[in-house]
Amino acid sequence: MDQDERRTVELAKCNADAFGVLYDRHAAAIYRFVFARLRNAASAEDVTAEVFLKALRGISGYQAGERPFICWLYRIADNAVADHFRRQRPTAELSDGLPDGTMPMDDIAIRHLEVEDLWQLVERLPRQQRLAMILRFGQDRSTHEIALVMGKSDAAIKLLIYRAVARLRLEVARRGLAPMPLALAAS
């Protein structure tokens, strides 16, 4: 975390205007992350607002040395999305659309799938694998940043992503679709 961010976080602990600066910096990234999970703009807006409300209420307990502020926000967002799904479980459905900022998975060969189909397959992954994939390929976060968000080692994150990719390959093979590099599917 750079010095400006650190100062702004410290100011935000006692000044709502300073928290507004943090909101302006990070709201779009958190919204994209939430939208990637919910696939519904209205719900994503509501959950994003909830994330920042929780962050405002809990910022006094945030310790800058533990992890970057954005990683702390992603952790809050992940929990808020899980809460949303628990509340909505009987009616939760996947809808069309892709998160902004979807990044290609260059070295992974998949079968011929539309991008939305690929993200729907990602949504079926176990929670930890899904979160790692969304942060890596939907939010373009580094392995280390993902490790900080998820409270795991870099090696554990690499393994989660490896296993997620293997599951995706198996699902694509099960469907018997023609090979296509993932980078082409995401463009």
pLDDT digits (tens, 9 = 90+) for 121-155: 888 899 999 999 989 888 888 999 999 999 999 99
Q: What is the mean pLDDT of each run of 10 residues along the chain (187 residues)?
A: 85 87 94 90 92 92 86 93 78 34 40 62 90 88 91 90 86 64 41
99, 32 contact by CB (below 8 A): yes
Q: Which domains does the chain have, with CATH numbers?
A: 3-91 (1.10.1740.10), 109-186 (1.10.10.10)
Query: How far apart (Å, rounded) are the C-alpha atoms in residues 185 and 183?
Result: 5
pLDDT of residue 48: 94
- Taking only the tens place, the pLDDT of each residue in 80-100 is 998 888 887 543 333 333 334
